[in-house]
Chain A
């Protein structure tokens, strides 16, 4: 396990730091990841790479981490039908979404797209960004996120809805319009 620490701890640390934005918390998450990996080492069957295995553990640790961080903000979570800046008072789009004329495959080839995506994600409030990343990028099911973080399904849907609205607008302005 010491060899894995030397090989992968910097990679895991970078990812954890991006996700929690705190060096101390990120270091704790990396440590917890390796301890959990050490305890589960016998169950690692080599079906995935060591890096993928460690990343999977780290992502669950991040999910756990947000349980405590997000509990405090539940009361502040927006509700459906509160004002959203994308719509006018009659519920019409202020700025209509336009066709992107893109296929997923063409975008995946472009690293630059991921950088723009990360930049757009950074503009979201922390709780919306984390809900979005856990759901859409890490691929956790809604039930799992709710159970872990103590959200009601409605809380989560609102956060995801807001995140998607803002992200869509940001990507349209900073990527799809120019490409």
Chain B
């Protein structure tokens, strides 16, 4: 099972990993034990949960808040795309 007490560095790995995959029981136990005793890692977990919570809901705003505001497709590129669409039609 390895050592019971995790360092902050190890605990932070589990805090992140639990957002993507359920932890093994033993790992979760060790993480929770660390979090009970460590206010800093507990704060880190709250921060990641906060980000995880808002980011899934900002998807469209995130896309619209474009840093490529001036970027656009050339007319030639649009024509090329339309031609490719026609080429890909079943009757062609």
> For residues 8 through 52 of chain B, which have their beta carbon under 8 Å from a beta carbon of chain A?
8-10, 12-13, 16-17, 19-21, 40-41, 43-44, 46-48, 50-52
| Residue in A10, A35, A92 whose beta carbon sits within 8 Å of that of B84 in the complex | A35
Q: In the complex, A34→B79 CA distance in Å?
A: 12
Q: Does A76 contact B (CB under 8 A)?
A: no
Q: Assess the A161–B59 pair: CB atoms within 8 A.
A: no
- The answer to whether A5 and B21 touch across the interface, beta carbons within 8 angstroms, is no
Assembled-state Cα–Cα distance A117/B7 (Å): 29
B71: chain A residues at CB < 8 Å are: 10, 13-14, 17
Which one of B8, B10, B53, B56 has the greatest number of beta carbons of chain A within 10 Å? B8
Report Cα–Cα, A97/B43, bound state, in Å: 6
In the bound complex, CA of A2 to CA of B86 (Å)? 9
Assign chain A's interface to a size class: 35 or more
Give chain A interface residues in 163-179, CB to chain B under 8 Å: 164-165, 167-168, 171-172
A111 at the interface (CB under 8 A from B): yes
Q: Does A75 contact B (CB under 8 A)?
A: no
Task: Verify B50–A93 contact, CB threshold 8 A.
Answer: no
* Min CB–CB distance A93 → chain B (angstroms): 5
Contact among B9, B55, B78, B85 for A35, CB-based, below 8 A? B85
Count B interface residues, CB 8 Å: 49
**A interface residues with partner B (beta carbon < 8 Å):** 1-2, 5-6, 9-10, 13-15, 17-18, 27, 30-31, 34-35, 38-39, 52, 55, 80-81, 84, 86-87, 90-93, 96-100, 102, 104, 107-108, 111, 114-115, 117-118, 122, 135-139, 142, 153, 156-157, 160-161, 164-165, 167-168, 171-172
Task: Report, nearest first, the 4 A-B pairs whose CB atoms are least far apart.
Answer: A91-B7, A91-B9, A161-B16, A87-B9
Residues of B near any A CB (own CB < 8 A)? 7-10, 12-13, 16-17, 19-21, 40-41, 43-44, 46-48, 50-63, 65-69, 71-73, 77-78, 80-82, 84-85, 88-89
Given contacts A2-B85, A164-B48, 18 further A-B contacts (CB under 8 A): A2-B82, A5-B81, A10-B73, A13-B73, A14-B69, A14-B71, A14-B72, A17-B68, A18-B67, A27-B73, A30-B81, A35-B84, A38-B89, A55-B63, A91-B9, A93-B44, A165-B12, A168-B47
